[in-house]
């Protein structure tokens, strides 16, 4: 039996609620299997900050680094909470983890499940993955301001893009595209305006494409890509894009494929130097926290991505099939967070292969 | 009779086709009126570049500046045309005009007309205006690269934001919101990541808001804004946002409100120091150029914005009502570009006030 050291960061708002269900799914998928999880819970997020003044200490970071993988719920306090002004939990915690753990692939699949009513598309039409760069672009925190608060203020933000950083994520995206039935890759950027960054991305994709003659490659400006996500999502298979464009496109992708409550993600360090981190795309949703009404599906989907990352393809598939089956039979009766979690966990167990 | 010197830039692809119809609408709206147009046509765009090697000469620019307003079709050649590599018509022509003519307000209304089938919303639900900043942000062309083409390449893009530039567009947006029935303004940015630029935008909106107690103000991160545009477009009235976010949101807005073929825009210099420029949001669409099948509605809608900018509110309204009436009666029979243009022009004339 392999033991995986799993760092669990429930976080704020609905984070702990959806993580509890994700862990049920993880347990269900791995009973009697060759893998077991040794979990450590980390109290991080807005609540911890309000209590102790810490966002993420060096000790926290070192402890997290000693794990094999991370499951995160959601972090962030109530918007506008004056006690959080200046804290920036997102930058200090979420982005710090992505950067320090070199999560250069932010993997965000979009599937429209059978049974999901989307006004925009038919089930089967939507089945793409966004490979969002995770460690560069306008997210580097390389901004600054002068004369802050005066009429002469100038506030800059720098998007940093390197051949090193772009090539590794583009290679990952091509390998992924080559492994999928449709073998298509779309680069999304804004090369006509961001000419330097855009040129680097475009040249890199063109060069790596030569090694993947089986992959069809196309290019869209980010503005046009939002149109096609609405009018023709079926045209996408693998999208590779920069950190900020990926952020925007994946929320939109969630909206067109059954809602952000279903969108799972993995922040992946493919080299295995650091633990990868799995989290729902949604935030902490403080407005519905504590009511037991949050949809844990995105967190459970993130468990599937975690299992696949750990090489447990069969278990990952069971989790995904259980989600698909659950979603297909969702009626109009509202279920609680834990009802959904229990029912998906039960399905995962029922799908257990005969030999175990 | 006031004479308005109008610079007309038909441009490339479907640009000349839609501009021809827009001019019919302009004529129809101003027969027997107190305003007449003295037009000069400028041959600018990819075709001109391929012929002469010029994108926009100093003489062109000086000549355009001596006009009162500009009507532009669309510019840009066939994507991937090797003869255009390195030309960047978008930056050298379109963006140069917006920057040199200080078009700091890029005004992009979204209305879902009666009769337009949108899978997402009901007519009446969608009626908002994006006020996109036009002279700053990541569009300033302040990027650069080192070691280009080597594995050690670094390519940066700088987003420049100034108190001067943000305040003037925010003031415009508040004045606009105050003049609309719902009196609501939404700032869209990414303050949790782009902390310096985001803070400047947020502080500016908060400060100007004090002068407009009647305007309800809220804030959305750009990623969340894309979700709401799909799930609840009715929540928007006036959106104020940065140049890049505005680019992305307005294409998406087009997609959810009847297609980009209906989306009009104005690049406005509210001070009147330079001529403002009116253009459809869509591009030159070389794939359908020359077939007479382009939809001229967005270009005609841009004429309405032009007329309103010139103080011809009554004529502007007639153009808008004619468009709404035309759209409401669009059946499934395809019409040619000029048929649509003729029919809208006829409606504009029919709506002529009795006294003329
Ligand atoms: C919370 C925020 C910093 C984050 C991002 O912008 O990456 C979120 O929107 C996401 O997509 O995971
Ligand atoms: C052509 C391009 C430079 C332009 C932009 O990005 O502003 C276009 O997309 C638009 O929205 O008018």
pLDDT digits (tens, 9 = 90+) for B189-229: 999 999 999 999 999 999 999 999 999 999 999 999 999 99
Atom of ligand 2 nearest to the CA of B281: 12
* Chain B residues closer than 8 Å to A157 by CB: 138, 158-159, 161, 194, 196-197
Q: Which two tokens stand for residue A193?
A: 């305006």
Angstroms from A170 CA to nearest CA on chain B? 14
| Domains of chain A, start order | 1-104+295-356 (3.40.718.10), 105-134+162-268 (3.40.718.10)
Mean pLDDT computed over B279-289: 96
- Return the residue matching tokens 């004429």: B303
pLDDT at residue A247 is higher than 90: yes
Binding site for NAD(+), residues of A? 283-295
pLDDT level of residue B344 (50, 70, 90 thresholds):
very high
Report the number of secondary-structure helices (H) and strands (E) in chain B.
12, 12
pLDDT at residue B124 is higher than 90: no
pLDDT at residue B80 is higher than 90: no
Tens of pLDDT, residues B47-69? 999 999 999 999 999 999 999 99
Which of A155, A167, A231 to mutate to probe the B interface, most B CBs <10 Å?
A155
Ligand 2 within 6 A of CB of B94: yes
Q: Do A156 and B158 touch (CB under 8 A)?
A: yes
Residue tagged active-site, from A81, A218, A223, A232: A223
Q: Is A247 a catalytic residue?
A: yes
pLDDT at residue B354 is higher than 70: no
Mean pLDDT computed over B25-41: 96
Q: Which pLDDT score is estimated for B120?
A: 78
The pTM of the full predicted model, rounded to 2 decimals, is 0.96
Q: Which pLDDT score is estimated for A322?
A: 98
Which ligand is nearest the CA of B222, by number?
1
Atom of ligand 1 nearest to the CA of A283: 1
In DSSP terms, which residues pair with B276 in a beta bridge? B69
From residue B166, alpha-carbon distances to A214, B78, B169, B253, B274 in Å are: 47, 35, 6, 22, 19
Distance (Å, rounded) from C-alpha B237 to C-alpha A255? 20
Q: Which pLDDT score is estimated for A330?
A: 87
Residue B47 contacts by C-beta under 8 Å, 6 or more apart in sequence? B12, B77
pLDDT level of residue A79 (50, 70, 90 thresholds):
confident
pLDDT level of residue A355 (50, 70, 90 thresholds):
low
Ligand 2 mutation pick, A190, A192, A226, max ligand atoms within 8 A of CB: A192
Which ligand is nearest the CA of A75, by number?
1
Q: Do B200 and A153 touch (CB under 8 A)?
A: yes
pLDDT at residue A118 is higher than 90: no
For ligand 2, atom 9, which residue shows the shortest CA distance? B247
Helix (H/G/I), strand (E/B), else coil: A53:
coil
Angstroms from A225 CA to nearest CA on chain B? 9
What percent of chain B has pLDDT above 70? 99
* Chain B residues closer than 8 Å to A120 by CB: 119-120, 230
Tens of pLDDT, residues A40-53? 999 999 999 999 99
Q: Which pLDDT score is estimated for B355?
A: 58
CA-derived radius of gyration, chain B? 20
Q: Which pLDDT score is estimated for A332?
A: 84
Nearest neighbour of B227 by CB, restricted to A119, A154, A252: A252
Binding site, residues of A? 98, 108, 132, 223, 247, 251, 283-295
Angle at which helices A297-309 and A15-30 pack, to 10 degrees?
A: 50
Binding site for Mg(2+), residues of B? 223, 247, 251
Tens of pLDDT, residues B230-276? 999 999 999 999 999 999 999 999 999 988 899 999 999 999 999 99
* Chain A residues closer than 8 Å to B226 by CB: 226, 248, 251-252, 255
Residue B91 is classified by DSSP as I
Distance (Å, rounded) from C-alpha B289 to C-alpha B117? 25
């Amino acid at each position: 039996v392999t033991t995986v050291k799993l760092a669990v960061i429930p976080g704020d708002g609905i984070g702990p609620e959806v993580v509890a269900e994700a862990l049920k799914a993880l347990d269900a998928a791995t009973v009697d299997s060759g893998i077991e999880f040794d979990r450590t819970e980390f109290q991080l997020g807005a609540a911890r900050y309000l209590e102790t003044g810490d966002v993420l200490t060096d000790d926290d970071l070192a402890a997290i680094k000693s794990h094999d993988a991370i499951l995160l719920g959601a972090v962030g306090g109530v918007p506008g909470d004056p006690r959080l002004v200046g804290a920036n939990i997102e930058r200090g915690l979420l982005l710090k983890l992505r950067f320090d753990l070199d999560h250069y692939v932010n993997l965000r699949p979009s599937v429209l499940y059978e049974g999901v009513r989307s006004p925009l598309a038919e089930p089967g039409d939507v089945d793409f993955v966004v490979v969002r760069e995770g460690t560069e672009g306008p997210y580097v925190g390389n901004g600054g301001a002068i004369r802050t608060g005066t009429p002469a203020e100038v506030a800059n933000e720098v998007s940093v893009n390197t051949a090193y950083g772009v090539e590794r994520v583009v290679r990952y995206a091509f390998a992924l595209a080559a492994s999928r039935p449709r073998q298509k890759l779309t680069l999304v950027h804004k090369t006509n305006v961001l000419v330097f960054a855009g040129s680097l991305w475009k040249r890199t994709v063109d060069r790596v494409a030569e090694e993947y003659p089986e992959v069809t490659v196309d290019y869209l400006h980010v503005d046009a890509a939002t149109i096609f996500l609405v009018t023709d999502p079926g045209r996408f298979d693998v999208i590779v894009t920069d950190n900020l464009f990926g952020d925007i496109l994946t929320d939109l992708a969630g909206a067109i494929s059954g809602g952000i409550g279903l969108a799972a993600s993995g922040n992946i360090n493919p080299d295995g130097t650091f633990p990868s981190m799995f989290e729902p795309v949604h935030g902490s949703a403080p407005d519905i926290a504590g009511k037991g009404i949050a949809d844990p599906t995105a967190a459970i989907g993130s468990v599937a991505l975690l299992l696949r990352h750990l090489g447990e393809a069969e278990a990952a598939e069971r989790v995904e099939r259980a989600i698909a089956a659950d979603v297909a039979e969702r009626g109009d009766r509202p279920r609680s967070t834990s009802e959904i979690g229990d029912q998906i966990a039960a399905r995962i167990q029922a799908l257990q292969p005969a030999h175990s």
